[in-house]
């Protein structure tokens, strides 16, 4: 009945009802979790839930629960009240989300639900996540996503006990984060003249400008809002490829400084990449400094994917750099470039992350990698000593269609990622050696937005496949048919109460 499905749930007889008179005991560092509960329940229930030392609801930080880890919690509902215990604040927040789901679905609406009975069934839950990294990437570059949608997304991710929102902030088709030292990145780089309709290679366009960028205050607000809900916002600044928008703003950062490029209006892989001269390294370090100022996340993503090196193969500057470094070929500049920027992050106490799209060992050490093509690339990466966040497209890419029905919206070609495929995502397969599985930090879903122009489309791609990915990341024992599908049936009214335009695909 709860999603993600709790590791242990024992139903009991009876129920407890929250009323106007119900009070909350949440001493010390448990107080923010009680505030979160009040904030989440207020719009629908209007319950004041004031503090009181004898509160029927008690939220307690208890070192004795350390065995459940930072994020584990114990929730006991009896006819007398609700008792939530955790060793850390993250565990209390997850317990609050579970309590929310135990209430009738109307508790999740954003307007008063008069006449509803705020009753919770008696139950004993002991719960903890299997994986420490449970993420969702949102691509705000291909189509700009308004701040309000990101804030709503944070709330919805927290409901599903995700803990990372990975923001893909820059790409060929748009640069969305302001950088004080390089104002043209958003002045020029945040707007494209038109947008390709259809998949990469199409010859149709919508002939309307598309643009958008966040202010630094908006991004700070997002980070703080997410932190209150237990979610870390990890920024991604793409390099050395996927930078056409930056090159439109600052052509001298490219391999042919005299050339003028527009913010890309196509989909696919663009050949225009950063040069490797010193000015480019200064640029990237400066952008990363401003990124680190905005985002306290321990992990910072540098992209690194889909970087054709044809420009480096003919650029005098890149050829000279290749020779100076004693590299065998210009393509080896890719690993060198990432290593330079990874070192800058490490020197500032952060951890670099990049995509992995082969198992060839070309990524610098100290990077945490996200294998997005084959799960086997993840295995190869663990053997090379990388930590990995498993992101294989066949189960975690939400831009693939979820059925072959004729009315399915346009998606990427080559796979169908239906609900069962999303739930079959196994981040740390049993056949891997223990040391390899230990390298798996977790898993995450990817919402690329080439074809997402409305919130309805966003929701349709995200839900309920995110519910399946959340379930797998949290509870490995959840069986698709026996556990997940029945839980999803009970969960759909909650998605509806939240106003989510979720897919009805099986």
Selected catalytic residue, list 71, 171, 399, 471: 171
Our CB check for ligand ACM shows the closer of 87 and 354 to be 354
Q: Total number of residues binding ligand ACM (CB under 6 A)?
A: 4
Our CB check for ligand ACM shows the closer of 47 and 356 to be 356
| Residue 448 beta carbon to ligand ACM: minimum distance, rounded to whole angstroms | 7
- For residue 137, list its beta bridge partners: 166, 446
* CA neighbor of 161 nearest in space, from 139, 137, 135, 138: 135
**Is the dihedral angle over the CA atoms 182, 186, 191, 192 positive or is it negative?**
positive
Question: For residues 190 and 214, what is the distance between their CA atoms, to the nearest angstrom?
Answer: 10
Footprint on residues 301-320 left by ligand ACM (CB under 6 A): 305-306
Footprint on residues 212-271 left by ligand ACM (CB under 6 A): none
Q: Is the peptide bond before 197 cis (omega within 30 degrees of 0)?
A: no
Our CB check for ligand ACM shows the closer of 337 and 372 to be 372
Question: For residues 255 and 299, what is the distance between their CA atoms, to the nearest angstrom?
Answer: 29
| Residue 393 beta carbon to ligand ACM: minimum distance, rounded to whole angstroms | 7
E strand or H helix at 173, and its extent? none
Q: What DSSP string describes 79-143?
A: TTEEEEEESSHHHHHHHHHHHHHHS-GGGGSSS--TT---EEEEEEEEE--S-SEEEEEEETTTS
Our CB check for ligand ACM shows the closer of 73 and 372 to be 372
Question: For residues 109 and 43, what is the distance between their CA atoms, to the nearest angstrom?
Answer: 7
| Residue 352 beta carbon to ligand ACM: minimum distance, rounded to whole angstroms | 15
User: What is the total residue count of the chain?
Assistant: 506
Angle value at C-alpha 177, between 249 and 286, nearest 5 degrees: 70
Give the burial class of 349: count Cβ atoms within 10 A of its Cβ; 0-12 exposed, 13-18 middle, 19 or more buried. exposed
**Is the dihedral angle over the CA atoms 451, 456, 462, 465 positive or is it negative?**
negative
Question: What is the β-pairing status of strands 57-61 and 81-86?
Answer: parallel
* CA neighbor of 123 nearest in space, from 92, 69, 84, 71: 84
| Residue 241 beta carbon to ligand ACM: minimum distance, rounded to whole angstroms | 9
| Residue 488 beta carbon to ligand ACM: minimum distance, rounded to whole angstroms | 27
- Whether residue 187 lies in the annotated active site: no
Question: For residues 335 and 312, what is the distance between their CA atoms, to the nearest angstrom?
Answer: 13
Q: Which residue is nearest to ligand ACM (CB)?
A: 305
| Residue 305 beta carbon to ligand ACM: minimum distance, rounded to whole angstroms | 4
The SS3 assignment for 322 reads helix
Question: For residues 302 and 300, what is the distance between their CA atoms, to the nearest angstrom?
Answer: 7
Residue 471 CA: distances (Å) to CA of 298, 422, 464: 25, 10, 11
Selected catalytic residue, list 94, 168, 242, 423: 242
* CA neighbor of 73 nearest in space, from 25, 124, 121, 118: 124
- For residue 135, list its beta bridge partners: 164, 444
Our CB check for ligand ACM shows the closer of 264 and 484 to be 264
| Residue 492 beta carbon to ligand ACM: minimum distance, rounded to whole angstroms | 29
Our CB check for ligand ACM shows the closer of 306 and 332 to be 306
- Whether residue 306 lies in the annotated active site: yes
Selected catalytic residue, list 218, 262, 306, 313: 306
Footprint on residues 107-146 left by ligand ACM (CB under 6 A): none
Our CB check for ligand ACM shows the closer of 118 and 355 to be 355
* CA neighbor of 92 nearest in space, from 7, 50, 34: 34
Our CB check for ligand ACM shows the closer of 250 and 372 to be 372
| Residue 465 beta carbon to ligand ACM: minimum distance, rounded to whole angstroms | 17
Among 299, 355, 458, 460, interactor with ligand ACM by CB under 6 A: 355
Among 144, 175, 264, 372, interactor with ligand ACM by CB under 6 A: 372
Q: Which residues contact ligand ACM by CB under 6 A?
A: 305-306, 355, 372
The catalytic residue positions are 171, 242, 306
């Amino acid at each position: 009945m709860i999603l993600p499905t709790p590791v242990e749930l024992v139903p009991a007889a009876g129920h407890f009802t929250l009323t106007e008179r119900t009070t909350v005991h949440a001493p010390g560092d448990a107080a923010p979790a009680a505030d979160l509960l009040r904030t989440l329940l207020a719009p629908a229930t209007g319950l004041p839930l004031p503090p009181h030392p004898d509160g029927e609801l008690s939220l307690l930080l208890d070192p004795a629960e350390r065995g459940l880890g930072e994020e584990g919690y114990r929730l006991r509902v009896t006819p007398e009240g609700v008792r939530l215990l955790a060793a850390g604040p993250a565990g209390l927040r997850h317990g609050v989300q579970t309590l929310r789901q135990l209430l009738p679905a109307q508790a999740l609406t954003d307007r008063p639900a008069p006449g509803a009975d705020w009753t919770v069934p008696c139950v004993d839950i002991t719960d903890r996540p299997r994986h420490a990294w449970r993420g969702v990437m949102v691509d705000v570059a291909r189509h700009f996503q308004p701040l309000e949608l990101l804030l709503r997304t944070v709330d919805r991710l927290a409901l599903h006990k995700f803990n990372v929102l990975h923001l893909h902030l820059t790409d060929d088709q748009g640069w969305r984060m302001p950088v004080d030292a390089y104002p043209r990145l958003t002045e020029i780089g945040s707007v494209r003249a038109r947008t390709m309709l259809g998949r990469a290679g199409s010859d149709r366009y919508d002939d309307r400008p598309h643009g958008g960028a966040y202010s630094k205050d908006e991004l700070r607000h997002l980070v703080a809002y997410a932190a209150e809900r237990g979610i870390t916002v990890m920024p991604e600044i793409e390099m050395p490829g996927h930078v056409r928008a930056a090159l439109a703003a600052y052509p001298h950062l490219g391999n042919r400084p005299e050339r003028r490029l527009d913010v890309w209006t196509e989909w696919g892989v663009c050949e225009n990449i950063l040069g490797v001269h010193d000015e480019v390294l200064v640029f990237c370090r400066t952008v990363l400094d401003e990124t680190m100022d905005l985002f306290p996340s321990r992990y910072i993503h540098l992209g690194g994917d889909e970087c054709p090196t044809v420009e480096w193969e003919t650029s005098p500057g890149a050829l000279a750099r290749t020779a100076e470094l004693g590299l065998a070929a210009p393509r080896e500049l890719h690993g060198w470039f990432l290593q330079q920027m990874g070192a800058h992050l490490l020197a500032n106490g952060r951890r670099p992350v990049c995509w992995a799209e082969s198992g060839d060992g070309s990524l610098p050490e100290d990077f945490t990698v996200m294998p997005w093509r084959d799960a086997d690339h993840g295995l190869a990466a663990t053997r090379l000593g990388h930590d990995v966040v498993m992101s294989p497209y066949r189960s975690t890419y939400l831009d693939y269609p979820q059925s072959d029905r004729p009315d399915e919206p346009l998606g990427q070609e080559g796979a169908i990622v239906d609900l069962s495929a999303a739930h079959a995502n196994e981040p740390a397969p049993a056949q891997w050696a223990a040391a390899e599985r230990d390298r798996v930090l977790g898993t995450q879903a990817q919402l690329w937005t080439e074809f997402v122009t409305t919130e309805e489309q966003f929701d349709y791609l995200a839900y309920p496949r995110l519910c399946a990915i959340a379930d797998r990341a949290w509870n490995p024992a959840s069986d698709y048919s026996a556990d997940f599908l029945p839980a999803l049936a009970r969960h759909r009214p909650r998605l509806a109460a939240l106003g989510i335009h979720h897919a009805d695909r099986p």
